[in-house]
């Protein structure tokens, strides 16, 4: 077992403003990230300045109301905040424990489709250490979820490791694999710049249905019917697709309410699988425990995009019986 090290909770040194448009609504939105007290976690303050109303939404899995196109938290009657996964990934990936997110729209601004704008906002004001120990959720035994051919596992591990595999029929994507310890340096360098992606045919259907109204080549990687990347500047990483899926997983699993000491493995996953993993984890109290220390980080091997699809399916693929 790795040697345990103490760690303190953090928040922002001062408030910072982030403005943009919602990827689905296409509407402008302003978001103010405020410093918050220890043990308060991430909270969304949904503000309607015209109606002069506001209400709070806790940034954890119990507030999730939909995962079909993105991760949405809220109240069925009061309202919601959608597409929170990239912002939440920036908080968890960068080690930010307590923030009040004041937002005047129903959707977090998409920015460039990655988490980098949020990382830049955090860097702009810096982090403040609080005089309270950081709490972690340690996974005590394997937890597995299978949704069709999507499979996820949370395994006991003295660290925060993400092991994500995707498998698309598209020649532009194919099978890609990312596996590494999720430290702030790894998140910023290897994950934070990975953008959301989609197929032109799907985007056109979403537009017709009134979704993805803010989607463009400025905030999404788009693949056309000829399986070519439409974006003039191409990809930011050769395996940007699996890195973005990893970014989503970091954000979705942050809704546990504290960093997970676990090895998360997913095969053909998405927002629904990530959310279902948290439901399964917390369905049994013997699956986990609270701790107030973090293990010294291991030098986990990182696997690139060139992997054998058959071996991945054998390791984590769906059960056939």
Query: pLDDT tens across 147-160, in order?
Result: 999 999 999 999 99
Q: Is 244 annotated as a binding residue?
A: yes
Per-residue pLDDT reduced to its tens digit, 96-130: 999 999 999 999 999 999 999 999 999 999 999 99
The helix (run of H) or strand (run of E) holding residue 88 is helix 85-94
Write down the domain spans for the chain.
Answer: 7-133, 136-195+236-316
248 is in an annotated binding site: yes
Q: Which two tokens stand for residue 131?
A: 């005089």
Q: Are 130 and 8 in contact (CB under 8 A)?
A: yes
**Is 86 among the annotated ligand-binding positions?**
yes
Q: What is the mean pLDDT of residues 231-255?
A: 97
What DSSP state is assigned to residue 39? Answer: T
CATH fold of 7-133 reads: Ribosomal Protein S5; domain 2 (3.30.230)
- Architecture label for domain 136-195+236-316: 2-Layer Sandwich (3.30)
Across the chain, mean pLDDT equals 89
Q: What is the pLDDT of residue 306?
A: 39
7-133 with 136-195+236-316: one CATH topology? no
Percent helix / strand / coil, the chain, rounded to 5: 25, 35, 40
**How many CB atoms sit inside 10 A of residue 136's CB?**
23
pLDDT at 316 over 80: no
Over range 305-317, report the average pLDDT. Answer: 44
Supply the residues annotated as catalytic. 271
**Using alpha carbons only, what angle is made at residue 251 by residues 62 and 118, rounded to the nearest 5 degrees?**
120
- Contacts of residue 270, defined as CB under 8 A and 6 or more positions apart, other chains included, come to 67, 150, 245, 248
> What one-character DSSP code corresponds to residue 255?
G
Pair of tokens at residue 93: 């990936």
């Amino acid at each position: 077992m790795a040697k345990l090290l103490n760690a303190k909770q953090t928040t922002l040194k001062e408030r910072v403003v982030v403005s943009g448009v919602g990827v689905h609504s296409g509407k402008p939105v302003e978001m103010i990230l405020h410093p918050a007290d220890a043990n308060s976690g991430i909270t969304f303050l949904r503000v309607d300045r015209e109606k002069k109303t506001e209400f709070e939404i806790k940034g954890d899995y119990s507030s999730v109301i939909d995962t079909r196109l993105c991760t949405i938290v809220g109240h069925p009657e009061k309202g919601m905040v959608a597409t929170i996964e990239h912002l939440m990934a920036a908080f968890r990936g960068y080690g930010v424990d307590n923030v009040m997110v004041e937002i005047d729209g129903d959707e977090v601004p998409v920015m460039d489709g990655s988490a980098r704008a949020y990382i830049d906002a955090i860097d702009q004001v810096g982090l403040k250490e609080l005089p309270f120990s950081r709490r972690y959720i340690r996974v005590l035994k394997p937890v597995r979820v299978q949704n069709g051919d999507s499979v996820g596992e949370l395994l006991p591990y003295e660290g925060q490791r993400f092991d994500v595999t995707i498998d698309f029929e598209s020649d532009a994507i194919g099978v890609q694999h990312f596996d590494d310890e999720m430290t702030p340096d790894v998140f910023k360098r290897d994950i934070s710049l990975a953008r959301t992606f989609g197929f032109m045919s799907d985007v056109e259907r979403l537009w017709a249905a009134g979704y993805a109204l803010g989607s463009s080549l400025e905030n999404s990687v788009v693949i056309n019917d000829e399986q070519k990347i439409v974006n003039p500047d191409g990809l930011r990483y050769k395996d940007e697709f699996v890195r973005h899926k990893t970014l989503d997983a970091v954000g979705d699993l942050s809704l546990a309410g504290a960093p997970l000491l676990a090895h998360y493995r997913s095969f053909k996953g998405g927002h629904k699988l990530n959310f279902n993993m948290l439901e399964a984890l917390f369905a049994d109290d013997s699956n986990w425990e609270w701790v107030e220390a973090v293990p010294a980080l291991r030098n986990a091997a990182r696997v690139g995009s060139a992997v054998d699809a058959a071996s991945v399916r054998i390791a984590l693929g769906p059960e056939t019986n």
